């Protein structure tokens, strides 16, 4: 498996952990997790979510790591090299396609976060905006969201074009500590809001009466999304891991960081929402409509603090989405550079160009192209629906089947135990989960995603 010996690897353990955690930590943690927890009874959702991470997320993440590290190449080649044959070659290419496809609409939302950061900075402590209508008006404009989206894409381009060590790793080492620092500052501010105790109570005291079968499926879908499973990112990053990296331990560390960030986002958002008298289950509009008002209401007596908090919050969102977008962009870039003979610069430009073009169509579907619909959904919603509800479970199913049933058992155990250096007990449990439990869980998530129950 070492035909690619000259290939770049992550240069340090901390760089590898921060880059991979950067992929996992994103909108899923800061936007989606609090919304889902808000709908699913706070603490009860948290317990179920942690169980889903351990029983489904962790095995799948480890499985993607195994494929990437064992093959030591991009996602498309990896499945072909390890699986052989026509089918597996296409499964790998499908993984690359999903990463690219998701990036096209992920950068649209990322552009909104950049817009909010710039707008809150520009407003200053004494400026005001009508946040109730701001979001709807902003996304419906033809050019503004496209410009922000393109600027965001170029930020990711700027990192990716520099390569694995000088780009992804170096920037993750700067951006991720900054992200943690901002989170800690925001948590402290939120804990000083008047009704902080109620917010914390909601997040940590389980209300099992709100817990339904659908909530469990929601938690499982959230675990998938939050850990970046099935998008080729984990497999591609694992192809840059060293042979000494302990895959199960690394998957555990990344899942723990990801969950910690989600809980911290809850600690920021719930006390602030309760203090401003806003329901924490406001749905996806929470971050873009409710929160800007929340910051101004709660810290109204100190306009400068209100301003700093909202600027920091949107800076946090931009950082989190940027590190995720970088990991997504690396998937097709590595493929084009390694399989299609393009230079890294050319590969990065092709990926950025296609994403900006398709992202512009997604963005316009909220405004001038809003009557281009299929099954009652505009293009942006279609991208979102198809990727979250169809592509991701399908790709998850391929990974679990490939690693659980198809991959040579000795190679699998070798990767999981680093050639016998680590005790095989945990590895055996993970393989058992991958073979029997995870496929069952994926089928349930898929059926729920397409509306069967
Ligand atoms: N895991 C990311 C999050 O939590 C989502 C994501 C990452 C999506 C990478 C795509 C690619 O937001």
Cα of 60 from ligand 1 centre, angstroms: 15
Among 21, 22, 25, 28, say which to mutate for ligand 1: greatest number of ligand atoms within 8 Å of CB: 28
* pLDDT per position as a tens digit, 362-388: 999 988 888 898 888 889 888 888 888
Give the integer Cα–Cα distance in Å for 42 and 195: 16
Distance of CA 201 to the CA centre of its chain: 27
Ligand 1 atom with the shortest distance to the CA of 27:
12
Q: Which tens digit of pLDDT belongs to each residue from 286-341?
A: 888 878 888 888 887 888 999 999 999 999 999 999 999 999 999 999 999 999 99
Of 99, 225, 326, best ligand 1 pocket probe by most atoms within 8 Å of the beta carbon: 225
Whose tokens are 């991979």? That residue is 20
Q: Compute the mean pLDDT over every residue in the chain, rounded to the nearest whole number.
A: 91
Question: How many CB atoms within 10 Å of residue 452?
Answer: 8
Give the atom of ligand 1 at the shortest distance from the alpha carbon of 24: 1
The rounded radius of gyration (Å) of the Cα atoms in the chain is 21
**Could you tell me which of 398, 434, 447 has the C-alpha nearest to residue 89?**
398
Helices 247-276/13-24 angle, 10° precision: 50
Show the ligand 1 pocket: residues with CB < 6 angstroms: 23-24, 26-29, 102, 106, 225-226, 228, 231, 233, 324, 327-328
Give the three-state DSSP class for 410: helix
Q: Which of 23, 223, 227, 319 should be mutated for ligand 1, with most atoms under 8 A from CB?
A: 23
- Residue 281 Cα to ligand 1 midpoint, Å, equals 21
Residue 409 has pLDDT above 90, yes or no: yes
Percent of the chain with pLDDT strictly greater than 70: 98
Which pair of structure tokens corresponds to residue 3? 């035909």
**Closest C-alpha to 446, from 233, 221, 214:** 221
> 3: which residues sit within 8 A by CB, 6+ positions away?
none
- Answer yes or no: is pLDDT of 97 > 90: yes
| Angstrom distance (rounded) from CA 230 to CA 83 | 17
Query: Is this model's pTM higher than 0.85 or not?
Result: yes
pLDDT tens profile 131-186: 888 988 998 999 999 999 999 999 999 999 999 999 999 999 999 999 999 999 99
Write the residue with the smallest CA distance to atom 6 of ligand 1.
228
What is the pLDDT, as a whole number, of residue 17?
A: 97
What tens digit of pLDDT does each residue of 63-84 get? 999 999 999 999 999 999 998 8
Residue 106 CA, ligand 1 centroid: distance in Å: 9
């Amino acid at each position: 498996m070492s035909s690619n010996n000259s290939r770049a690897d992550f240069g340090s353990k901390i760089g590898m952990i921060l880059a991979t955690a950067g992929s996992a930590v994103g909108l899923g943690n800061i936007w989606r997790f609090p919304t889902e927890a808000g709908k699913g009874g706070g603490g009860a959702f948290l317990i179920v979510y942690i169980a889903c991470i351990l029983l489904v997320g962790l095995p799948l993440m480890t499985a993607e790591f195994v494929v990437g590290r064992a093959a030591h190449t991009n996602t498309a080649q990896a499945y072909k090299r390890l699986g052989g044959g026509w089918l597996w070659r296409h499964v790998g290419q499908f993984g690359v396609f999903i990463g690219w496809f998701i990036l096209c609409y992920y950068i649209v939302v990322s552009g909104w976060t950049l817009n909010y950061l710039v707008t809150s900075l520009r407003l200053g402590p004494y400026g005001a905006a009508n946040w109730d209508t701001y979001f709807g008006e902003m996304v419906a404009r033809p050019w503004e969201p496209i410009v922000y989206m393109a600027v965001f894409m170029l930020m990711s381009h700027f990192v990716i074009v520099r390569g694995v060590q000088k780009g992804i790793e170096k920037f993750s080492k700067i951006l991720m500590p900054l992200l943690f620092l901002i989170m800690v500052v925001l948590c402290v501010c939120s804990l000083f809001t008047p009704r902080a105790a109620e917010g914390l109570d909601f997040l940590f005291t389980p209300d099992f009466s709100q817990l339904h079968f659908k909530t469990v499926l929601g938690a499982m879908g959230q675990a998938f999304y939050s850990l970046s499973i099935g998008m080729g990112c984990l497999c591609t990053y694992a192809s840059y891991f060293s042979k000494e990296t302990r895959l199960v331990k690394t998957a555990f560390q990344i899942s723990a960081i990801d969950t910690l960030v989600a809980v911290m986002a809850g600690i920021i958002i719930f006390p602030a929402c309760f203090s401003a008298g806003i329901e924490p289950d406001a749905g996806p509009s929470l971050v873009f409509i409710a929160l800007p008002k929340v910051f101004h209401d709660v810290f109204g007596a100190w306009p400068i603090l209100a301003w700093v908090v909202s600027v920091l919050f949107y800076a946090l969102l931009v950082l989190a989405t940027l590190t995720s977008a970088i990991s997504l962009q690396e998937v097709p870039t590595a493929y084009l550079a390694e399989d299609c003979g393009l230079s890294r610069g050319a590969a990065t430009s092709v990926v950025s160009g296609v994403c900006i073009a398709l992202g512009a169509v997604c963005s316009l579907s909220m405004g001038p192209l809003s009557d281009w619909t299929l099954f009652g959904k505009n293009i942006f919603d279609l991208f979102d629906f198809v990727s979250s509800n169809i592509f991701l479970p399908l790709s998850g199913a391929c990974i679990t089947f490939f690693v659980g049933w198809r991959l040579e058992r000795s190679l699998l155990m070798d990767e999981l135990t680093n050639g016998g250096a680590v005790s095989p007990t945990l590895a055996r449990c993970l393989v058992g989960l991958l073979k029997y439990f995870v496929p069952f869980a994926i089928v349930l998530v898929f059926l729920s995603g397409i509306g069967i129950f």
